[in-house]
Amino acid sequence: MTPASNTDISGVLFDLDGTLVDTAPDFIHCVNLLRVEHGLPTLKESEIRKVVSDGARAMIKLAINMDPDHVDFPRTRQHFLDLYEQKIADHSALFEGFEALLNDLSNANIPWGVVTNKPRHYAVLLLDKLGWLDKMQTLVCPDDVTRAKPDPEPMLLACSQLNLDPRRCLYIGDHERDIQAGKNANMPTVAAGYGYVHHPDEANEWQADHTFSSALELSTWLKTILIKAT
């Protein structure tokens, strides 16, 4: 099946970390807290930011060079997540242009939501503190499905909850698995190249239908295709 053209798009789904919300500042703080606890010097923000979308395992590996098969990894992972829960939304915020966009989508009754690999407990806590949890029409997390992205299951569940044909619902993400998941669900895809990518040109390699290097440019473009002039 062929994804819809821009004029046929009726709704939008976002990845969370690195796409809709810049959560890196709080993760950066937690990674460096973990390093300090282990007697290590803090890392540069830019070095940590690159691995945020790769999850807790990658951040712990970066922080203290601990692999998942280490005997202390489960305890360390939980400690890291506890640190994050204490700091969640302290410095996280929507990327530039998205606050106005989401308000416009809600006012125009355009369905939107989030599909993320972030566990529901943390996604709900973050979105609630930022004030957006009750304004979206769907939130799909790994807890809600049997197979997470890049499998299409979470994408199809979200589209079903929005009552949208996947071909008419955009999916936007800052990781290759996001684009793969969207394509696997026959959704038009957008790569958020401004997110937590490993190198500047990485997003161009994912073969998304559209790629943006600026959050403001992306949010402006979304307004033009989703919100019809009245």
Of 17, 22, 26, 178, catalytic: 17
Active site residue 15: yes
List, as one string, the DSSP characters of the chain.
-PPPPGGG--EEEE-TBTTTEE-HHHHHHHHHHHHHHTT-PPPPHHHHHTTGGG-HHHHHHHHH---TTSTTHHHHHHHHHHHHHHHTTSS-EEPTTHHHHHHHHHHTT--EEEE-SS-HHHHHHHHHHHT-GGG-SEEE-GGGSSS-TTSSHHHHHHHHHHT--GGGEEEEESSHHHHHHHHHTT--EEEETTSS-SSTTGGGGG--SEEES-HHHHHHHHHHHHS---
Active site residue 178: no
The catalytic residue positions are 15, 17
